[in-house]
């Protein structure tokens, strides 16, 4: 059933992607069909028709998009996802004025040409980021944890460290370019920091590729990378140490790889990795959460009082199960894929995220919300087909793109849809 809607919808969601043809797979979005259960009645605005007619004409309207326009200092390109994409330089009437532009010109400070300043800024930023994601423990504690990890967990930890450093160096390069630092000095400083950081080949290659394209870039042409602290999911609960509310008040952060206990001043008190937790229980009657943790060869019991003990328990349980399934920490579902629009022949990037699918071309950009995606599938010749539902005219538009990563693209969209559908089921069950 290609639509996957009626009786076969539930079965299709549980199984792997249906085979649309011998050429590729087909994915149907359950979120698209769930709209049938919503209230489709139209609602009038609180503003009357006469008031709407009297509104002043807005000459400068910004189209919603996952990408922002570049400054007038742009060299006509943007560096995104490891590739240079041609972009049009906005005119002064429609363009934006960015904060960094005010730091240039006649009043530009000589501080931006001091390489030691940038090195200090890099070290401070790394230190702050490590503190944000809970990697600021001492070397003894790090080695102790590393010793107890499995081979796959050790590799994961190494990748997390490399990703943090490479992302910081990548963004540092972008900031130095914005402030018009000499490109030769910029390359020399970043390559020295790259060598000092001992980053692995996979992540250091991303920084080296950026430096190789630096002569073609100017201003804010480099799209910044999101920090791991922004991508990592965490929930914070207020708990009391002990069995009642007379104990010390602390904040318990539930992260994807462990628990962080912080004092009321925000300073990290303890860090507990999930691989060291032996058991966990809670009592809804006494509102006490019990955690058993291995430490120095002994199993220690820790009790916490909180009115949300059930929520804390299931949040920790969910994170521990996700960790066991091997989901990489900080890896956002989705990804970026090079595509060619078969209608216009333009090349560009297709970005899959939890909100939907964004497309960026040299002369156009737009975003398709996840709930408007009806289905997607591949055809022979690396053709990726995306069907979009337009709620205004209730028509379905089929978009076709050629991509060497068509199969990966379908799987990426499918994963995002599956995660969102699982969240919907969880919300309904609660």
- What is the pLDDT at residue 286? 92
Helix pair angle (201-212, 183-197), 10° resolution: 180
Residues 361-378 have a mean pLDDT of 82
Residues 345-363 have a mean pLDDT of 81
Which of 63-77, 160-174, 274-288, 414-428 is the least confident region? 63-77
pLDDT of 132 above 50: yes
- What is the pLDDT at residue 57? 46
Confidence of residue 225 (pLDDT cuts 50, 70, 90): confident
Confidence of residue 293 (pLDDT cuts 50, 70, 90): confident
For the chain, residues classed under CATH 2.30.29.30 are: 9-35+332-429, 233-324
Confidence of residue 418 (pLDDT cuts 50, 70, 90): confident
Which of 46-60, 193-207, 346-360, 392-406 is the least confident region? 46-60
Strand, coil or helix: what is 383?
strand
Residue scoring higher pLDDT (138 or 196): 196
Confidence of residue 330 (pLDDT cuts 50, 70, 90): very low
Separation of alpha carbons 313 and 326, rounded Å: 20
- Residues 240-287 have pLDDT tens digits of 999 999 999 999 989 887 888 988 888 878 888 887 787 888 888 999
Residues 28-32 have a mean pLDDT of 50
- What is the pLDDT at residue 139? 62
Residues 95-99 have a mean pLDDT of 72
Residues 41-62 have a mean pLDDT of 41
pLDDT of 417 above 70: yes
Q: For the domain bounded by 233-324, which CATH number is listed?
A: 2.30.29.30
Confidence of residue 210 (pLDDT cuts 50, 70, 90): very high
Question: Which among 52-66, 91-105, 276-290 has the top mean pLDDT?
Answer: 276-290
- What is the pLDDT at residue 7? 41
Q: Token pair 């963004």 is at which residue?
A: 171
pLDDT of 74 above 80: no
Confidence of residue 168 (pLDDT cuts 50, 70, 90): very high
Residues 3-11 have a mean pLDDT of 40
Confidence of residue 101 (pLDDT cuts 50, 70, 90): confident
Confidence of residue 324 (pLDDT cuts 50, 70, 90): low
Which of 144-153, 244-253, 296-305 is the least confident region? 144-153
Contact 237, 252 (CB under 8 A): yes
Q: For the domain bounded by 9-35+332-429, which CATH number is listed?
A: 2.30.29.30
Residue scoring higher pLDDT (72 or 211): 211
- What is the pLDDT at residue 36? 46
- What is the pLDDT at residue 46? 42
The distance between the two most distant Cα atoms of the chain, rounded to a whole number of Å, is 76
pLDDT of 393 above 70: yes
DSSP for 51-74, written as a single string: HHHTSPP-S--PPP-SSPPPPTT-
Question: Which among 68-77, 244-253, 312-321, 356-365 has the top mean pLDDT?
Answer: 244-253
N-term to C-term CA, the chain: 31
- What is the pLDDT at residue 42? 37
Residue scoring higher pLDDT (254 or 4): 254
Q: What angle do CA 346, 349, 354 make, to 5 degrees?
A: 140
Q: Is 95 left (phi over 0), alpha (psi -120 to 50) or beta?
A: beta
Long-range contacts of 58-64 (CB under 8 A, 24+ apart): 60/93, 60/94, 63/365, 63/366, 64/367
pLDDT of 111 above 60: yes
Strand, coil or helix: what is 299?
strand
Question: What mean pLDDT is reported for the chain?
Answer: 75
Residues 322-346 have a mean pLDDT of 66
Which of 218-222, 277-281, 296-300, 365-369 is the least confident region? 296-300
Separation of alpha carbons 121 and 171, rounded Å: 11
């Amino acid at each position: 059933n290609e639509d996957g809607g009626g009786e076969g919808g539930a079965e299709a969601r549980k199984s792997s992607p249906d085979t649309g043809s011998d050429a590729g797979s087909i994915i149907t979005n359950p979120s698209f069909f769930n709209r049938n259960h919503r209230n489709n009645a139209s609602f009038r605005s609180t503003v009357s028709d006469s008031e709407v007619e009297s509104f002043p004409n807005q000459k400068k309207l910004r189209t919603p998009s996952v990408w922002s326009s570049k400054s007038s200092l742009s060299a006509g390109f943007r560096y995104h996802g490891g590739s240079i994409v041609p972009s049009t330089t906005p005119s002064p009437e429609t363009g934006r004025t960015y904060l960094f532009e005010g730091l240039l010109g006649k009043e530009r400070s000589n501080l931006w040409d001091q390489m030691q300043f940038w090195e200090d800024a890099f070290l401070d930023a790394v230190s702050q980021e490590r503190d944000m994601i809970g990697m600021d423990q001492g070397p003894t504690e790090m080695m102790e944890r590393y010793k107890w990890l499995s081979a796959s967990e050790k590799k994961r930890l190494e990748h997390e460290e490399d990703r943090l450093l490479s992302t910081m160096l990548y963004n540092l390069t972008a900031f130095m370019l914005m402030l018009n630092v000499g490109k030769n000095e910029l390359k020399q400083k970043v390559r020295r920091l790259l060598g000092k950081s001992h980053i692995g080949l996979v992540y250091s290659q991303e920084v080296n590729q950026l430096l190789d394209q630096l002569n073609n870039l100017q201003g804010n042409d480099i799209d910044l990378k999101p920090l791991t602290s922004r991508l990592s999911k965490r929930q914070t609960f207020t708990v009391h140490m002990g069995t009642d509310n007379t104990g010390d008040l602390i904040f318990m952060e539930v992260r994807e790889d462990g628990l962080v206990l912080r004092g009321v001043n925000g300073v990290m008190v303890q860090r507990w990795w999930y691989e060291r937790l032996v058991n966990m229980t809670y009592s809804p009657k006494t509102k006490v959460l019990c955690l058993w943790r291995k430490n120095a060869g002994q199993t220690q019991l820790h009790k916490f009082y909180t009115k949300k003990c059930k929520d804390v328990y299931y949040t920790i349980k969910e994170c521990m199960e996700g960790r066991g399934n091997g989901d990489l920490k900080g890896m956002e579902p989705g990804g970026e894929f090079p595509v060619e629009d078969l209608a216009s022949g333009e090349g560009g990037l297709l970005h899959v995220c939890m909100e939907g699918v964004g497309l960026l071309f040299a002369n156009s950009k737009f975003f398709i919300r996840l709930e408007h995606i009806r289905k997607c599938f591949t055809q022979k010749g690396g053709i990726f087909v995306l069907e979009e539902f337009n709620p205004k005219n209730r028509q379905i538009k089929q978009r076709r793109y050629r991509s060497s990563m068509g199969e990966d693209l379908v799987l990426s969209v499918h994963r995002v849809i599956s995660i969102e559908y699982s969240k919907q089921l969880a919300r309904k069950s609660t």
